[in-house]
């Protein structure tokens, strides 16, 4: 296990409280589960994180399932993260460190993490600021092994603040497609699965992830990945709190555009719901990974369903704004217009 208690990295961040028996797995004869060869890769896209990185590394390296490799691809512009990774890697040979020659952005770095892993059986992305229960990886591997038709397994998660404290209890997100028909599975993902940004941190069957294009160069690439992936198999949720997610920044379209890409593609200036629906249609209907007509038909349903669901967000992230932003006056020009109209009414009343 890495040097998590080093005085160099003490930050006063509290450790989340783990439950003692989060998953019922029968009688376990050993504390660790081992396979004869490493077939699991964890990819960590790293970007200028130093405050929470030691805690994240310590919890990953403390997994009861130890037969994995942790591939860290560093997209940082600062030297701090590299020094921390090298300190941990000197004490644990499961860590593989790579530094990008130039910045790639989030999409490019996530894709690089997967591509550099080669051809593992199972793959998961891990963040540089979260915390995982020691049985997180073992529980998901057992779930994938027990569900041959599943392509993705993810646990329940707990939101924590910057100090490691749990956020006020919210209604737990429960979503699984196990036992559903193919048509029911597609319908459930299109209508009932809004937490794609959480599900993307689950454990994938790597071949299915590769056929789904990994991370497309669009806004909301996690949502596009999940829509494509559901054509290949089931999503299974492990009924245990095994992941402690630290949310350290508020979401916005502008922030996504800055973080996802270094060189912005030209279509980024078009309405993103149209771009994403077109990407789904292209990759599942016109240029699918298989010639199976049922796959193409399912892809067509997904593309149409996605477009219809996102129509109300047309214009979001642009200076024009979406219908929702108009209603709530979230755009500066709308605020200015409403202010002028209000002032004019007041002047007439006076």
Nearest C-alpha neighbor of 131 from the set 44, 65, 59: 59
Give me Rg for the CA atoms of the chain: 22
What is the pLDDT at residue 291? Answer: 87
Q: In what order do the strands lie in the sheet with 203-205?
A: 95-99, 68-74, 40-46, 122-125, 203-205, 150-160, 234-246, 131-132
pLDDT of residue 17: 63
Q: Please state, in angstroms and rounded to a whole number, the distance separating the CA atoms of residues 17 and 21.
A: 12
Instruction: Return the pLDDT at 29.
Output: 39
Q: What is the pLDDT along the chain (350 residues), one digit of tens a residue?
A: 445 444 344 445 666 666 555 555 444 434 455 444 448 999 999 999 999 999 999 999 999 999 999 999 999 999 999 999 999 999 999 999 999 999 999 999 999 999 999 999 999 999 999 999 999 999 999 999 999 999 999 999 988 888 888 887 667 788 999 999 999 999 999 988 768 989 999 999 999 999 999 999 999 999 999 999 999 999 999 999 999 998 776 667 777 888 899 988 999 888 889 999 999 999 999 999 998 999 999 999 999 999 998 887 766 655 455 555 555 555 565 666 767 777 777 777 76
> Would you state the pLDDT for residue 193?
76
Digit-coded pLDDT (tens) for 286-308: 999 998 999 999 999 999 999 99
Instruction: Specify the pTM.
Output: 0.82
pLDDT for the residue numbered 214: 93
Q: What is the predicted pLDDT for the residue at 167?
A: 80
Residues 6+ apart with CB under 8 A from 190: 227, 301, 302, 305, 306, 309
Tokens of residue 187, six digits: 């319908």
- Enumerate long-range contacts of 322-328, CB under 8 Å, 24 or more apart: none
Domain 33-246 has CATH 3.40.50.2000: no
Q: What CA–CA distance (Å, rounded) separates 339 from 335?
A: 6
Q: How many CB atoms lie within 10 A of CB 107?
A: 22
As a dihedral over the C-alpha atoms of residue 45, residue 127, residue 47, residue 226, rounded to 10 degrees, the angle is 60
């Amino acid at each position: 296990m890495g040097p998590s208690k080093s005085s160099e990295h003490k930050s006063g961040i509290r450790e989340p409280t783990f439950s003692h028996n989060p998953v019922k797995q029968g009688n376990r004869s050993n504390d660790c589960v081992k396979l004869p060869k490493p077939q699991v890769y964890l990819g960590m896209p790293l970007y200028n994180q130093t405050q929470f990185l030691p805690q994240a590394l310590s919890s990953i390296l403390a997994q009861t399932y130890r037969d994995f490799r942790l591939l860290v691809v560093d997209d940082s512009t600062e030297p701090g993260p590299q020094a921390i990774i090298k300190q941990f890697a000197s004490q644990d040979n499961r860590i593989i460190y790579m530094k990008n020659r130039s910045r790639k952005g989030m999409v490019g770095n996530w894709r690089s993490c997967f591509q550099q892993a080669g051809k593992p059986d199972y793959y998961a992305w891990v963040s540089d600021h979260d915390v995982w229960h020691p049985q997180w990886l073992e529980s998901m591997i057992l779930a994938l092994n027990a569900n041959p038709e599943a392509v993705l397994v993810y646990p329940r998660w707990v939101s924590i603040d910057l100090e490691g404290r749990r956020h006020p209890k919210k209604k737990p997100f429960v979503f699984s497609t196990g036992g559903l028909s193919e048509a029911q599975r597609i319908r459930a993902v299109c209508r009932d699965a809004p937490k794609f940004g959480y599900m993307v941190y689950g454990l994938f069957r790597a071949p299915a992830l590769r056929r789904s294009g990994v991370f497309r160069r669009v806004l909301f690439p996690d949502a596009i990945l999940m829509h494509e992936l559901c054509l290949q198999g089931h999503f299974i949720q492990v009924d245990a709190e095994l992941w402690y997610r630290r949310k350290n920044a508020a979401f916005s379209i502008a922030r996504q555009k800055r973080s996802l890409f270094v060189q912005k593609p030209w279509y980024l200036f078009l309405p993103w719901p149209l771009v994403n629906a077109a990407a789904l249609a292209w990759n599942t209907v016109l240029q699918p990974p298989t010639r199976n007509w049922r796959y193409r038909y399912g892809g067509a349903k997904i593309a149409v369903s996605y477009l219809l669901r996102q129509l109300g967000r047309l214009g979001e992230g642009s200076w024009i704004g979406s219908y929702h932003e108009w209603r709530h006056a979230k755009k500066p020009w709308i605020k200015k217009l409403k202010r002028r109209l209000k002032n004019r009414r007041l002047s007439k009343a006076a």
